Structure 1
Amino acid sequence: MANNKKLVPEATDALEKLKYEVAAEEGIELKDGYNGDITARDAGKIGGNMVKKMIEYAEKHMKDSE
């Protein structure tokens, strides 16, 4: 069973903003609220690019702190 508990609840708003930014960059229109009608391919593009951006952000900030 999946655990959907947020490890950092304060990040919820930032993740939502990132989701809409990535969707716009990919040309995928999201509406406020439920978006369960988008294709799995589009959802994967959004999620994959969100992870990519978060990794890039973490790598940049880890490098800056060295």
Structure 2
Amino acid sequence: MANNNRLLLSQASKALQDLKYEIAGELGITPPADGYWGFVSSFENGSIGGSITRKLVAYAQQKLAEGSTEIE
């Protein structure tokens, strides 16, 4: 199956990784020291992914409410 999850900005990859670690900390999930998330349960990974999605949607809604079409 093809991976169509391409990032439009190369800087987005680093920002998403930082957000993942920040949210994991907020949820009380200890991020793996080696960066490999394969040993983290699917429930925990799903919680992190869901939180990332909620934060990104809230950010986009805020920007739209402000009348901004630019995303920083």
Asked whether the two chains share a fold, i.e. TM above 0.5, the reply is: yes
Aligned residues: 66
SS, match of residue 38 in structure 2: coil
Flag structure 2 segments of 5+ consecutive residues without an equivalent.
none
Counterpart position of 2:44: 42
Q: Deviations over 1:45-64 (max 9, x none)?
A: 00000000000000001101
For 1:47 and 1:8, locate their aligned partners in 2 and report how far apart those are by CA, in whole Å: 19
Question: Larger relative contact order (C-alpha < 8 A, sep ≥ 6)?
Answer: 1
TM-score, normalising length from structure 2? 0.81
The RMSD of aligned alpha carbons is 1.5
Pairs within 5 Å for 1:1-66 = 1-3=1-3, 4-32=5-33, 33-65=35-67
Identity of aligned residues (%): 39
For 2:23 and 2:64, locate their aligned partners in 1 and report how far apart those are by CA, in whole Å: 23
Regions of 4+ moved over 6 Å: none
